[in-house]
Amino acid sequence: MTTGILLLGLFLAWMVLAVLTFRPPDTPKISRLVFFLLWLGTSFLLGYFFLIKVFGFNPNPYKVEIARRLTSDKTIYLGDLVPGLYDLDYISRVDTDGEDETIKQEWLAFYQYDVTTSSEGAKKGPYGGAIYDYDNCRPPAILSYELVPISYDYLGQDAVSPQVENIISYADPVSGGKDRPELIMNGSTRGVVTDLNVFRKTGVALDCFQVQQWRIVHPGETFPNPLRYENIGSFRGNYRVSRDGATVTVVDRSPFERSQIAIQRQYRPENGSYFRPGTQTLLNPVEYSLIFGPGQPDQVPQVYYPEKAVLAFYLNLTKDETQLKTAEGYLSEGAKQAYDIQTDPFGLSTDPNSVAKARDKLARVLVWEIRYQPDIAAEQLHQDRQVTVIVTGVDKDGNIDYAHPCQVTWKVVGRPNPQALPYGCEWALDLYRSSCQ
C-alpha cells in the first residue's frame, strides 16, 4: 500500500513537472531550467523505485561494488566475514545495549544456513544472528556476540525482524545493577511471526590492561569475552506468536483439529527472565485457554461444527452487554426461557470462595478443554449433539479460579432456518449439566 502511494505520488509529480517544463512557448527561462532538472531527478527516482518495487531489482551488490571502488576496498564489509550473509539487507545498525558510547549503534547481522538455492537464485534457509561491536582498547577490537536461542535453534524460518525495548525492569547484578534494554527477535514463517526470542546483554567488560595481560599468557587464543547476549525467553507457536509489552502470547493449533480451535498460552517474566531460575524451561503460562485461531466466525449458529457454538458462547460470557447479547443469541428459545443471561452461572462455580463466583465477580471465561465425538452424518442432519467443556472464571483483576474448574455438558440442537447455509439449520445451546452444580 505504501509503495503504491509512493509510486503514484512520484508519477503525479513527474507529470506536473513535465507540463511545467515542456509547455509552450519554449522560451528559455531560469524557472524552466529548474523544472527540467527537477523533472530529471523525479524521472530517476521513479525509474529506480519502479525497478526495485515492481521488478524486484536488487541494487545492493552494486552499492557494495561502488563503495569498494570509492574507498579503494579499505572498508570492512561483514558480508566478507560472515558465511551466509548474502545481502546488505541482512545488516542493520541498532543500539542493542543502551550503552553510553561514542557510536551507540551496533552492527546486527543475520545469516542463513542449510541454504537451498531455487532455480531463480533465491536463497531459502533458516536465519541465525550475531551482533558486532568494538571495544575502547588500542587498537580497538571488533567483538562478536552470537544470538543463540536456548535450544540452539534458528531465529526465524523465512525472515527475522529486530526490536529493542526495555520491556522488563531488571537490575543486572553482574553488571552493577544496569537495567539494559531487551533485544526481541521476531522470526516469521510464511509472513506470520512463529518464533520470538528475547535477549539481553549481561556481564561487565574487562579493562584493556586485563585483556592485554590475558593475551600475553594465552598467545594466539581467542579471548573469552565476559560480555554476552543472554537468551532470557524463547517461544515458538505453530500458529502465531505475539507480544504486548512483556506479555508473550503463543498460539498452537493441533494438526488434526477440524474446527480451527487453537490453544493460547500467555507468559510473563519473573526476576528478569521467562525461564525458571537456573533452567532452560519456560515459566508456567499465566493463562491458558482455547480460542478461535482465525477469529470468531461472523455467523456462529450457522457453523458446521457444534463445538464451535459452545466455545463462542463462553468467550462472549463477559460483563460487556453487547457480548452478552451475542451470547444470548446462541441459546435456543427454551434455553432463553430457562436461563437468565444476566445471572445464570451456566455451569461455572458458585462457591462463595471462588475468585470469580458466577456471576457477580465474573469478568470472562476460560475454556480449558472441549470434548466432542464427531458424527458427520448426524451433524449434517442437525440432530441433537452433546459437547462437553471444562471452564473456569476470571475476575476483573485477572485472577483465575484455578480451584474451581467445572465440567459442563451441553445439549446442542438444530433449529430450522432456510437462509442458513449449508443445511438450512442453525446450532443452538439448549440444556446443560455441570459438575459444579
Over the stretch 141-170, which tens digit does the pLDDT of each residue have? Answer: 888 999 999 877 899 999 999 999 999 999
345-372 in b/e form (b: 16+ CB < 10 A) is bbbbbbeeebbbbbbebbbbbbbbebeb
Residues 279 and 148 in one domain: yes
Residues 365 and 267 in one domain: no
At residue 183, the 3 state secondary structure works out as strand
Residues 16 and 101 in one domain: no
Q: CA of 336: how far to CAs of 51, 305, 340, in Å? A: 62, 21, 7
According to DSSP, the residues that pair with 299 across neighbouring strands are none
Domain containing residue 148:
60-292
For residue 245, what pLDDT is reported? 96
Last residue in a domain, options 231, 265, 292:
292
Residues 186 and 284 in one domain: yes
Q: What is the pLDDT along the chain (437 residues), one digit of tens a residue?
A: 566 777 788 788 888 888 888 877 766 678 878 888 888 888 888 887 777 777 677 777 778 788 778 888 778 888 888 889 988 889 999 999 988 888 889 999 999 999 998 888 788 999 999 999 988 888 888 889 999 998 778 999 999 999 999 999 999 888 888 899 999 999 999 999 999 999 999 988 878 888 788 888 988 887 777 889 999 999 999 999 999 999 999 999 977 678 889 999 999 999 999 999 989 899 999 999 999 988 888 888 777 788 999 999 999 999 999 999 999 999 999 999 999 999 999 999 999 989 888 898 999 999 999 999 888 888 888 889 999 999 999 999 999 999 999 999 999 998 877 777 766 778 999 999 999 97
- Strand-strand pairing, 406-416 and 425-434: antiparallel
For residue 1, what pLDDT is reported? 59
For residue 37, what pLDDT is reported? 87
What cell does 298 get? 461472523
For residue 182, what pLDDT is reported? 97
Last residue in a domain, options 226, 257, 292:
292
Residues 381 and 285 in one domain: no
At residue 345, the 3 state secondary structure works out as coil
Q: Which of 305, 301, 307 is nearest to 417 (CA)?
A: 301
Residue with cell 527477535: 185
Q: Which of 250, 126, 158 is nearest to 198 (CA)?
A: 250
Residues 149 and 261 in one domain: yes
At residue 383, the 3 state secondary structure works out as coil
Residue 391, domain CATH? 3.10.450
Three-class HEC string of 66-103: HHHHHCCCCCCCHHHCCCCCCCHHHEEEECCCCCCCCC
CA distance 290 to 251: 9
Residues 250 and 165 in one domain: yes
Residues 50 and 198 in one domain: no
CA distance 308 to 261: 8
Sheet holding 364-371: strands in order across?
364-371, 385-394, 406-416, 425-434
